[in-house]
Copies of this chain bind each other. A is one copy, B any other.
Amino acid sequence: MVSIRDVAKHASVSVATVSRVLNDKGYVSVETRKKVEAAIAELNYRPNEVARSLFKKQSKTLGLILPDIMNPFFPELARAIEDTAAKLGYTVILCNSDEDEEKAQRYLDILLQKYVDGIILASNTIREKTIRELNIPVVCIDREISKDIPTIVVDNKKGARTATQFLKDKGRKRIAHIRGPFDVSNANERCEGYLGIVSSEDWFTESYIINGNYHMETATKVALALLQSHPEVDGIFAANDTMAIGAMKAAYQHGLKVPEDISIIGFDGIALAKASIPELTTIEQPLYALGQKAAKVLIQLIEGQEIEKSFHQFDVQLVEREST
> Which A positions have Cβ atoms within 8 angstroms of B?
1, 46-51, 53-54, 57, 59, 61, 64, 68-70, 72, 74-76, 78-79, 82-83, 86, 91-96, 109-110, 112-115, 216, 242, 245, 248-249, 252, 271-272, 274-278
Partner of A115, one of B50, B82, B271, B274: B50
Among all A-B residue pairs, the 6 with the closest Cβ atoms: A49-B113, A94-B94, A50-B53, A49-B114, A70-B75, A69-B75
- A69 and B69 contact, Cβ closer than 8 Å, known pairs A46-B113, A112-B46: yes
Q: Which residues of B contact A76 (CB under 8 A)?
A: 70
Not counting A82-B94, A216-B275, a sample of 5 additional A-B residue pairs whose C-beta atoms are within 8 angstroms of each other reads A46-B113, A49-B113, A59-B114, A242-B275, A272-B272
Measured CB to CB, the nearest residue on chain B to A68 is: B79
Q: Chain B residues near A276 (CB, 8 Å)?
A: 275-277
Closest approach, in angstroms, between the C-beta of A235 and any C-beta of chain B? Answer: 18
CA distance A94 to B61 in the complex (A): 11
Assuming the contacts A96-B79, A275-B245, A277-B277, asked whether A113 and B68 have C-beta atoms less than 8 A apart, the reply is no
Tell me, rounded to whole Å, the shortest Cβ–Cβ distance linking A229 to chain B: 23
Q: How far is the CA of A234 from the CA of B245 in the complex (A)?
A: 27
| Complex: A21 Cα to B86 Cα, angstroms | 38
In Å, the complex CA distance between A92 and B95 comes to 8
Return the chain B residue nearest A51 by Cβ. Answer: B54
Nearest-CB residue, chain B, relative to A85: B94
For A93, give its contact among B70, B91, B248, B271 (CB under 8 Å).
B91
Task: Give 18 CB contacts A-B under 8 Å.
Answer: A46-B113, A48-B113, A49-B113, A49-B114, A50-B53, A69-B69, A70-B271, A72-B72, A72-B271, A82-B94, A82-B95, A92-B93, A92-B94, A93-B93, A216-B274, A272-B272, A272-B275, A277-B278
